[in-house]
Amino acid sequence: MREYNREQWQSFAAVKAAVDKMQDGEIAALRSAVEPYIAFRRELRAFHERFFAPHCMARCFETAQSACCGFESIFTFFSDQAITYLLSGPEERDRIFQALLHPSRSDRCVYLGPKGCVWVLPPISCAFFYCDAVKEQVFAADPQAASIWRHLREAEKAFTYPDRPVLFDTVEALFRAHGVDSPHMYFHKSPGLLRIKREAGLVADRPRRGPLSAEETIRS
């Protein structure tokens, strides 16, 4: 198994182990916490279907020349992994693990199947990626698309830009409270994101009293 596949496998396996140990109340609280993000992703999906889907299908997917789903170029947050696992059924979860067992092709993401991404909710970085050529084509044809795009990019920050408490940081903290560690926990490992949190006063030094419980993490 390639290093990329192995790290992805380890993260999903850690998510599975933690979810399997969670109490029903914890899972219900987590599902409730991610609902606004799911609503946002529906809005983003509707934008894609309205403006980009026909262009992307013909330009990249059908020609197998996708710039979006390139080999080992997919950037994933741990929270992306946790949320898509939470939303998936047994068969959908199995497809993720099975995809990681297959030898990687040099021209495509390991998660790209015959019908598209095997994740039920693809990574946010993928959902927002469009090549320059198709963006220029779409925005030139319909200026409203560019306006909606800017609105969506700004709305994304409420979930992923930690100058305030954001969902992706909270989800990481919840799983860390369950003993999970992952190289994809960028909100607790990335120097850049930690700097933003520090400047926002979210990681100020304070007396240590031990890790927060899972319930405290969701409420905080």
User: Is 213 a domain residue?
Assistant: no
What would the pLDDT profile of 142-200 be if each residue is shown by its tens digit? 999 999 999 999 999 999 999 999 999 999 999 999 999 999 999 999 999 999 999 99
Nearest 5°: the CA angle 199, 123, 21 is: 85
Q: Which domain holds residue 154?
A: 3-161
Count CB neighbours of 152 within 10 A: 16
* Residue-wise pLDDT tens digits, 83-137: 999 999 999 999 999 999 986 666 678 888 888 889 999 999 999 988 888 899 9
Q: How confident is the model at residue 55 (pLDDT cuts 50, 70, 90)?
A: confident
In a domain? residue 181: no
Query: Which residue is associated with the tokens 């860390």?
Result: 176
Query: Per the domain annotation, does 58 fall within a domain?
Result: yes
Report yes or no on 125 lying in a domain: yes
What's the structural domain count of the chain?
1
Q: Which residue is it, tokens 């927002």?
A: 128
Express each pLDDT in 21-54 by its tens digit: 999 999 999 999 999 999 999 999 999 999 998 8
Q: What is the pTM of this model?
A: 0.86
Decide if 124 is inside a domain: yes
* 53 located within any domain: yes
In a domain, 106, yes or no: yes
E strands present in 70-159: 112-113, 116-117
Asked whether residue 206 is domain-assigned, the answer is no
